[in-house]
C-alpha cells in the first residue's frame, strides 16, 4: 500500500479520494478518507459507515454519485464520489468496484495514521445499472458537458446533507462493532 501511504500524506483534512492499487495481480479501488475523528485510533469500533448512491440525469448527461457517511460518537461527515461513464479513469474505478468482493475503506487522521476496513461489496448492482443506463443513452457526452452538469447538480443542493437525503436507496451499510 505504498501509493496509499503517499496519497494519505498528500490528502488535506476533510478530503476523500478513490485510489487504484494493484494487489495480487488484481486492481483494487480503495476509498480513502482523511479527516478529524475524535475516537479515531482509540475506539474505531464506534465508527459507522453508510453508502448511498444515485444516478442523476441532467440534459443529455448521466452521472453516478456514491456518498459515504462516516459517523462516530461525535461526528457525522459525508464524502461524495462522482462517476462519469465516458471518462476512462472513472470507468476503470467503476469496474474495479463492481468486481471486488469487498469494499475497502481507509480512514486517516491528521497525523497520517490510518485504519482500514473491508466490507462485503454490495455496490455492484447499483454501479452496473449506471453503466447499463449510460450505454443505452445513445449519446456520448463530453468531459466539459459532464463537468458543467455536475457543478449545476451540486449547486442545486443547499448543503451536503441535502444531497445525502436526496440520493436513492442506501446501497451499503456497515456498523463496526468491537
- CA 166 – CA 153 distance, rounded (Å): 12
- CA 121 – CA 110 distance, rounded (Å): 28
Tell me the pTM.
0.85
46-56: average pLDDT: 84
pLDDT category of residue 49 using cuts at 50, 70 and 90: confident
Per-residue pLDDT, 4: 82
- Please give the residue range of the domain that contains residue 136: 2-175
Per-residue pLDDT, 162: 82
Q: How many domains does the chain have?
A: 1
- CA 57 – CA 74 distance, rounded (Å): 35
**Helical (H) or strand (E) element with 68:** strand 61-71
pLDDT tens string 138-163: 889 999 999 998 898 888 888 888 87
Per-residue pLDDT, 178: 28
Who wins on pLDDT, 98 or 73? 98
- CA 58 – CA 152 distance, rounded (Å): 9
Residue in this structure with the C-alpha cell 440534459, named with its chain if needed = 59
Helix (H, G, I), strand (E, B) or coil at 24: coil
Amino acid at each position: 500500500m505504498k501509493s496509499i501511504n503517499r496519497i494519505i500524506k498528500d490528502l488535506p483534512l476533510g478530503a476523500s479520494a478513490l485510489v487504484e492499487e494493484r494487489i495480487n495481480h488484481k486492481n483494487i479501488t480503495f476509498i480513502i478518507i482523511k479527516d478529524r475523528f475524535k475516537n479515531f485510533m482509540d475506539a474505531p469500533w464506534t465508527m459507522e459507515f453508510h453508502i448511498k448512491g444515485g444516478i442523476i440525469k441532467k440534459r443529455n448527461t448521466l452521472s453516478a454519485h456514491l456518498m459515504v457517511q462516516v459517523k462516530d460518537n461525535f461526528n457525522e461527515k459525508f464524502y461524495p464520489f462522482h462517476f462519469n461513464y465516458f471518462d476512462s479513469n472513472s470507468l476503470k474505478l467503476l469496474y474495479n468496484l463492481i468486481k471486488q468482493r469487498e469494499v475497502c475503506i481507509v480512514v486517516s487522521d491528521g497525523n497520517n495514521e490510518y485504519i482500514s476496513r473491508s466490507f462485503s461489496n454490495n455496490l455492484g448492482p447499483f454501479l452496473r445499472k449506471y453503466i447499463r443506463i449510460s450505454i443505452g443513452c445513445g449519446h456520448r457526452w463530453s468531459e466539459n458537458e459532464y463537468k458543467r452538469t455536475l457543478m449545476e447538480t451540486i449547486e442545486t443542493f443547499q448543503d451536503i446533507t441535502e444531497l445525502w437525503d436526496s440520493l436513492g436507496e442506501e446501497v451499503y451499510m456497515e456498523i463496526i462493532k468491537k
